[in-house]
């Protein structure tokens, strides 16, 4: 820390992203990226847009919003695009939370929530998951602050049915409920259909997983027009050009290439079920993941030990080293070949 760093941030513990090693080519199953390249149409539009980068991008993302509105069935003023969904999660903490409106989220969930709370000086309460790592919906009814809930949850992968999400939204009509649907396309139910009914619901999604654009940084939020206007007030006060020209066009391409998107999601789901069976036969237990990863622990071997052993053999998975989940590994679903390579290494180790 330099002697100039503001005291207000001196205790801040930054979020630690999954490793992105450059030194060696790993079988990378640690950050839930897609094993498939961006859609060919997204690539074509992105390449064309690169030639116009002497100009600023459109701060209103009008073309992308028009396409998204049609494809996702929401009004153009009910959607806002952001530089990865992390950005809108931060904006939501900035826009809706303060000392009188604390944040509430599960004790095991996306590791960025407590960081966003800290950087924005927002008090927060973490609600423990049940022992089986599920969310007890009753704990989230009539709570004292804004709710942040990932569905499916991360890193457990466990999804709540839409009826439970609606119970949380309806149970906190004077609070904002942010439903983080980063992984929804791999088998969970989206709450987007509820935004016209509830003005306190903000749904966030990303192009990083199911649409193969993690490196382009594109996410979005869907909610009541007034909530979206608030997010835009924050966005225009921080970085109105948050979506660059290439990314906006790639987003349009990805949304238009629906067959590619659907086929990839189906393949991931099939590969997830295939991998789960293989892991079971090796002595792993798993949550019922509806995401593009499995959350697995071995009956005998320690999570931290397996993480180190497979890394030495060129396979990267995620180990959180946190109480309650210390023995778990979060394993991204890659291609069938990537998963077979992991299984082969695990067979040797175990």
Residues contributing to the site for ligand PMP (CB under 6 A): 84-86, 110, 150, 154, 180, 182, 206, 208, 214, 219
Which among 205, 190, 186 has a CA at the least distance from the CA of 276? 186
Give least dist CB 263 to ligand PMP, A: 21
In this structure, is the dihedral angle defined by the CA atoms of residues 212, 214, 217 and 220, taken in order, positive or negative?
positive
Give least dist CB 255 to ligand PMP, A: 15
List the structure tokens of 320: 């959180």
Q: Name which of 110 and 328 has its Cβ closer to ligand PMP.
A: 110
Give least dist CB 36 to ligand PMP, A: 16
List the structure tokens of 19: 């490793």
Structural Rg of the chain based on CA atoms: 20
Q: Name which of 95 and 346 has its Cβ closer to ligand PMP.
A: 95
Give least dist CB 317 to ligand PMP, A: 15
Q: Name which of 206 and 232 has its Cβ closer to ligand PMP.
A: 206
β-pair type (103-106, 79-82): unpaired
> What phi and psi, each to the nearest 5 degrees, are found at residue 157?
80, -5
Residue 205 to residue 223: CA distance in whole angstroms: 12
Integer angstrom CA distances of residue 183 from 122, 244, 298, 307: 26, 24, 24, 23
Integer angstrom CA distances of residue 266 from 41, 215, 263, 270, 289: 19, 22, 5, 6, 14
Give least dist CB 110 to ligand PMP, A: 4
Give least dist CB 51 to ligand PMP, A: 26
Q: Name which of 211 and 245 has its Cβ closer to ligand PMP.
A: 211
Residue 347 to residue 25: CA distance in whole angstroms: 21
Chain residue whose CB lies nearest ligand PMP: 84
Give least dist CB 88 to ligand PMP, A: 9
Q: Name which of 84 and 251 has its Cβ closer to ligand PMP.
A: 84
Q: Name which of 265 and 346 has its Cβ closer to ligand PMP.
A: 265
Q: Strands across the sheet with 103-106, in order?
A: 79-82, 219-223, 201-206, 177-180, 146-150, 103-106, 124-127
Give least dist CB 246 to ligand PMP, A: 16
Q: Name which of 298 and 318 has its Cβ closer to ligand PMP.
A: 318
List the structure tokens of 278: 């293989």
- Residue 113 near residue 148 (C-beta atoms within 8 A): yes
Q: Name which of 86 and 345 has its Cβ closer to ligand PMP.
A: 86
């Amino acid at each position: 820390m330099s002697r100039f760093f503001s005291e207000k941030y001196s205790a801040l513990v930054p979020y630690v992203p999954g490793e992105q090693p450059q030194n060696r080519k790993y079988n990378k199953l640690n950050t839930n990226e897609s094993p498939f390249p961006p859609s060919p149409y997204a690539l074509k539009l992105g390449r064309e847009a690169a030639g116009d980068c002497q100009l600023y991008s459109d701060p209103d993302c009008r073309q992308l919003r028009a396409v998204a509105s049609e494809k996702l069935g929401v009004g153009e003023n009910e959607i806002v695009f952001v530089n990865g969904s992390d950005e809108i999660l931060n904006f939501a903490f900035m826009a809706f939370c303060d000392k009188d409106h604390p944040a509430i989220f599960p004790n095991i969930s996306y590791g960025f929530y407590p960081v966003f709370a800290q950087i924005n000086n927002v008090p927060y309460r973490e609600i423990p998951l049940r022992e089986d790592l599920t969310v007890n919906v009753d704990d989230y009814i009539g709570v004292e602050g804004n709710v942040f809930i990932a569905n499916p949850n991360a890193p457990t992968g466990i999804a709540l049915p839409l009826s439970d999400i609606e119970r949380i939204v309806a149970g906190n009509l004077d609070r904002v409920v942010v439903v983080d649907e980063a992984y929804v396309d791999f088998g969970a139910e989206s709450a987007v259909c509820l935004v016209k009914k509830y003005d306190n619901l903000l749904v966030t999604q990303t192009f990083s997983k199911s649409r193969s654009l993690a490196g382009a940084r594109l996410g979005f939020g869907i909610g009541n027009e007034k909530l979206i206007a608030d997010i835009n007030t924050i966005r225009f006060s921080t970085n109105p050009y948050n979506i660059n020209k290439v990314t906006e066009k790639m987003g349009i391409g990805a949304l238009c290439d629906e067959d590619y998107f659907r086929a990839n999601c189906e393949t991931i789901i099939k590969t997830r079920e295939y991998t789960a069976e293989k892991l079971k036969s090796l002595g792993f237990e798993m949550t019922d993941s509806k995401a593009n990863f499995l959350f697995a622990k071995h009956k005998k071997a320690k999570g931290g030990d397996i993480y180190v052993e497979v890394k030495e053999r060129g396979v990267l998975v995620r180990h959180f080293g946190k109480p309650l989940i210390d023995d778990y590994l979060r394993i991204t679903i890659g291609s069938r070949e990537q998963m077979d390579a992991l299984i082969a290494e695990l067979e040797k180790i175990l």
